[in-house]
């Protein structure tokens, strides 16, 4: 179990970005007690709390590609990573021993369709610097959590709602009455709704 946290916001908000990502990482330390790492690229900040399972010390995240154009953070496991490496990624250079690095190189090969080749339980965020594009995705069953919000020109995502709430970006947190009702009736709110207004669950497609 790990946690991924990211914020994309205006360049003028560098202080808010820095303080918020630290609060989010601190709030989710229990999910990844082995290490906490940060990366910043202009108006994007990323933080991951990692629990070392596959790859050990040689599986640190975030993971960058050879050209340092792509940045990947992933919570979870890719069950068929060995098969993917053998079948599609023979000519790629791997910088870690982590199973999740295959996501980055599969994206290089197949773009956003790489998700169709992955078998496992995972939630990841991938940033393409040249395209200024953020991709967030979950496994087809939605086993691992991933929440996001677009609020006051900020895009913010995390493995836990409370990390988003703890950031400096949200000033007035409001409960979603329909989300609360669905929680009582159905054990949890129906995606993409959560129990908080303007905070959504990622929809598995």
**Residue 134: strand pairing partners:** 127
Could you tell me the CA-to-CA distances from 53 to 4, 96, 106 in Å, in that order? Answer: 16, 13, 21
The whole-angstrom separation of Cα 99 and Cα 50 is 13
Active site (annotated) includes residue 2: yes
- Of 75, 79, 74, give the one whose Cα is nearest residue 107: 74
Dihedral over alpha carbons 106, 141, 7, 192 (to 10 degrees)? 140
Q: List the catalytic residue out of 2, 4, 135, 137.
A: 2
Cα of 38 vs its chain's centroid, Å: 13
Catalytic center residues? 2
């Amino acid at each position: 179990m790990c946690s991924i946290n990211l914020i994309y916001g205006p360049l003028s908000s560098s202080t808010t970005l820095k303080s918020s990502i630290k609060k989010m990482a601190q709030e989710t330390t229990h999910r990844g007690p082995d290490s906490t790492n940060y990366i910043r690229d202009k108006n994007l900040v990323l933080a991951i709390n990692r629990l070392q399972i596959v790859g050990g010390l040689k599986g640190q995240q975030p993971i960058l590609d050879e050209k340092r154009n792509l940045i990947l953070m992933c919570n979870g496991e890719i069950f068929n990573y060995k098969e993917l490496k053998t079948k599609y990624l023979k000519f790629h250079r791997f910088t870690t021993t982590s199973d999740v690095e295959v996501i980055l190189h599969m994206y290089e090969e197949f773009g956003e369709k790489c998700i169709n080749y992955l078998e496992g339980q995972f939630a990841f965020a991938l940033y393409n610097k040249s395209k200024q594009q953020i991709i967030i995705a979950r496994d087809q069953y939605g086993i691992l959590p991933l929440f996001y919000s677009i609020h006051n020109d900020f895009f913010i995502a995390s493995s836990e709602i409370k990390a988003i709430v703890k950031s400096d970006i949200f000033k007035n947190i409001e409960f979603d009455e329909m989300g609360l009702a669905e929680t009582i009736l159905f054990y949890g709110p129906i995606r993409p709704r959560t129990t908080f207004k303007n905070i959504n669950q990622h929809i598995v497609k």
